[in-house]
Amino acid sequence: MSEIRILIVVKDAETASAYVDAVTGSGAACDVAHSFQDMSELATERLYNGIVVDVLTLVRCSKEEKAIAYEIINLFPVLRVKWEPRQKKIKLTPLEQSFSPDTDSALRFFIQTRCKAFPARSLRKDKRKLVNLNLLYCRDDRFLDGEAHKSFTINLSSSGAFLHTMEDFRLGEKIWLRFLEFADQAPIEATVCWSLSWGVSRCIPGAGVKFEALSESQKQDLERIVNL
């Protein structure tokens, strides 16, 4: 049976060492990312069964890094933890405590049950660029008057985008996008891969989408912008 591999995201070196000991002690191999940009790069290069996130690292990162963080977090099993330096102990967040008040038991359950059952995966290898492009989106490909909503991208790749929206979307839902900066204004069909609702966390609400079909002109515009 292949090993369980966990990606730990934590900035502080002492905290990282404690998390590594806890994860390996629960029966998993692990790598450490000291920022969410590092997390993105590692998760693109290697396969992971789950992610352990240090809450303080998440709270203190920039809005741009939060956008990257939540896009990735929505794709893997995740355990949020915090380090208590005075007590030299790992603590669970209030959300995690609702499932198990005991940190060791919660970590073992997370790794041996949730992560073990989750097929190891990596992120798409497309280059992702932090860029704000104006767009209209609609749930109907006809783009009828009054049914399109104004929005903008937070990041963009040749295969998809993370766009800001206050609306909730279902996973797998189809929407159509029209980028104002593109020469070809034909609606682009896209599938919602994940959605982050307003008020759920300290990050930009929005939806991650995958482009289903692009014209040659739209592909060229995307490549030009992503590679600027």
Tell me the mean pLDDT per 10 residues along the chain, length 228. 89 94 96 93 90 94 84 84 90 69 86 88 77 95 90 92 92 94 96 81 78 96 91
Residue 104: which H helix or E strand, with range?
helix 103-109
Q: To which residue do tokens 């692009």 refer? A: 214
**pLDDT number for residue 203:** 64
pLDDT given at position 208: 87
Q: Residue 68 has what pLDDT? A: 81
What CATH number labels 129-226? 2.40.10.220
What is the full DSSP assignment across 152-220?
EEEEE-SSEEEEE-SS---TT-EEEEEETT-S--SPEEEEEEEEE-TTSSSS--EEEEEE----HHHHH
pLDDT score of 96: 66
Residues linked to residue 192 through DSSP beta bridges, in sequence order: 209
**CB-based contacts of 12, cutoff 8 Å, min separation 6:** 54, 56, 57, 83
Q: What is the pLDDT, as a whole number, of residue 39?
A: 92
Domains 5-117 and 129-226 are alike in CATH topology: no
Which pTM was predicted?
0.63
Q: 94: part of which helix (H) or strand (E)?
A: helix 94-97
> Domain residues of the chain, as ranges?
5-117, 129-226
- Domain formed by 5-117, architecture: 3-Layer(aba) Sandwich (3.40)
How far apart are alpha carbons 105 and 143 in whole angstroms?
A: 51
What pLDDT does residue 98 have? 56
The DSSP letter of residue 8 is E
